[in-house]
Amino acid sequence: MGRWRDGTGELSVLDGAGEPVPLEIAASYRARTRGLLGRDGIDGAILLTPASSVHTFRMRFPIDVAHLDRRLRVIAIRTMRPGRLGAIRPRARYVLEAEAGAMAAWGLRPGVRVAIATGQDLRT
């Protein structure tokens, strides 16, 4: 699997029957560092790549955090309030962030795989 670049795409939960979710991809150091800081919310989700942990210092709203392995399988999901430091997940290659409660609505849970479509390519 190749590397992503900063941009947009769509996230699909492979074991779910829902609609694709709008996705922002933060692949550069600058985009990963900025993440959701300074925002009041997000429509969809943001994928941090590569990443194995996150923090919510200076965040304005609680978020759902999903750690994904290199095959885009969910390792763990956690809801984090602002001002928290997340645990490092050694097997995690990517971190998916969304507003609190969104991932449950999408059917995302540990063990489920996701697909990410960016432009003309699809990574699963």
Per-residue pLDDT reduced to its tens digit, 93-109: 999 999 999 999 999 99
pLDDT score recorded for residue 15: 75
Token pair, residue 23, equals: 């996705």
Report the share of the chain in percent with pLDDT over 70.
92
Per-residue pLDDT reduced to its tens digit, 47-73: 999 999 999 998 999 999 999 999 999
Q: Mean pLDDT, to the nearest integer, of 33-39?
A: 87
pLDDT score recorded for residue 16: 66
pLDDT score recorded for residue 2: 59
Secondary structure string (H, E, C) spanning the chain: CCCCCCEEEEEEECCCCCCCEEEEEECCHHHHHHCCCCCCCCCCEEEECCCCCCECCCCCCCEEEEEECCCCEEEEEEEECCCCECCCCCCCCEEEEEECCHHHHHCCCCCCEEEEEECCEEEC
Report in angstroms the alpha-carbon separations of 66 from 81, 83, 88: 14, 18, 12
Could you give the angle at the alpha carbon of 120 between the alpha carbons of 114 and 121, nearest 5°? 40
Q: Which amino acid is at 118?
A: T
pLDDT score recorded for residue 122: 42
Q: What is the pTM of this model?
A: 0.90
